[in-house]
């Protein structure tokens, strides 16, 4: 997910942050397109610190355990530019986890498969509806720039969910057609 890019990017845009706040910032600003787990955030902040791309200033307040505010450094800004250039390579390599099933359907009845796929299609259509709701909500993202780009990202998901539905329809048709030719 190119996590360091998100971390440096938002540290640069929003100024010094605690790891925890940074994680939430990213989730909010990207409308959850990037939901990075908290331990993962700290893992990468540590690495970035070793590389000198961020500095963490520890500070003790009262009896609280130590906590750090992370800031991007000058070399961090350089690294950010490099990462952006790298990300511009745009390499799409999807993995369809569930496709394994198709290699072993001989142990599944065709009826069950078709029924399951139909249910899957219903769920996908629900996700699409949800996605449109979230888009409306994403319209609440503060700055203009981010909002427009959030639209681009939403559209990205939308296209692929539609593709999934379309493939599903084809596949169901194919299975049903085959079933009618060779009725079991």
Partner DNA sequence: TCCAATATAGTCAGTACTGATTAATCAGCA
Partner DNA sequence: TGCTGATTAATCAGTACTGACTATATTGGA
Binding site for its own copies (CB under 8 A): 1-2, 5-6, 9, 13, 29-30, 33-34, 80-81, 84, 87-92, 94-108, 112-113, 116-117, 120, 123-124, 145-146, 148-149, 152-153, 155-157, 159-164, 166-167, 170-171, 174, 178
Pick what 42 binds: its own copies, DNA, none; C-beta below 5 to 8 Å, kind-dependent. Answer: DNA
Question: Buried b vs exposed e over 151-172: b needs ≥16 C-beta within 10 Å?
Answer: eeebeeeeeebeebbeeeeeeb
State the distance between the two ends of the chain, measured CA to CA, in whole angstroms. Answer: 46
Pick what 57 binds: DNA, its own copies, none; C-beta below 5 to 8 Å, kind-dependent. Answer: none
Pick what 30 binds: its own copies, DNA, none; C-beta below 5 to 8 Å, kind-dependent. Answer: its own copies
The answer to whether residues 117 and 172 touch, using CB atoms and an 8 Å cutoff, is: yes
Pick what 131 binds: DNA, its own copies, none; C-beta below 5 to 8 Å, kind-dependent. Answer: none
Least distance in angstroms from the C-beta of 63 to its own copies: 38
Task: State which residue, 69 or 149, has the beta carbon closest to its own copies.
Answer: 149
Question: Distance (Å, rounded) from C-alpha 71 to C-alpha 13?
Answer: 11
Pick what 110 binds: its own copies, DNA, none; C-beta below 5 to 8 Å, kind-dependent. Answer: none
DSSP letter (8 states) at residue 73 = -
Least distance in angstroms from the C-beta of 99 to its own copies: 5
Residue 174, CA distances (Å) to 47, 110, 124, 171 in order: 50, 11, 19, 5
Compose the 35-64 pattern: x for residues touching DNA by CB under 7 A, - for all others: -xxxxx-xxx--x-------------xxxx
Question: Distance (Å, rounded) from C-alpha 168 to C-alpha 98?
Answer: 12
Question: Distance (Å, rounded) from C-alpha 48 to C-alpha 54?
Answer: 6
How many residues in the shown chain lie near DNA by CB under 7 A? 24
């Amino acid at each position: 997910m190119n996590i360091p890019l998100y971390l440096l990017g938002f540290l640069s845009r929003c100024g010094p942050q605690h790891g925890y706040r940074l994680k939430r910032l990213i989730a909010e600003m990207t409308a959850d397109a990037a939901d990075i787990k908290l331990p993962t955030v700290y893992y990468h902040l540590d690495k970035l610190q070793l590389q000198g791309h961020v500095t963490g200033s520890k500070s003790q307040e009262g009896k609280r355990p130590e906590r750090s505010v992370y800031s991007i450094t000058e070399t961090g800004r350089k690294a950010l530019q490099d990462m952006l250039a790298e990300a511009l390579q745009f390499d799409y390599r999807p993995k369809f986890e569930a496709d394994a099933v198709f290699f072993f359907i001989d142990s599944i009845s065709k009826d069950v498969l078709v029924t399951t796929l139909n249910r899957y299609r219903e769920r996908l259509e629900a996700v699409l509806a949800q996605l449109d709701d979230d888009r409306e909500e994403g319209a609440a993202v503060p700055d203009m720039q981010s909002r427009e780009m959030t639209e681009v990202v939403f559209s990205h998901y939308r296209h692929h969910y539609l593709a999934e539905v379309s493939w599903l329809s084809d596949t169901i048709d194919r299975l049903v057609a085959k079933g009618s030719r060779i009725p079991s």
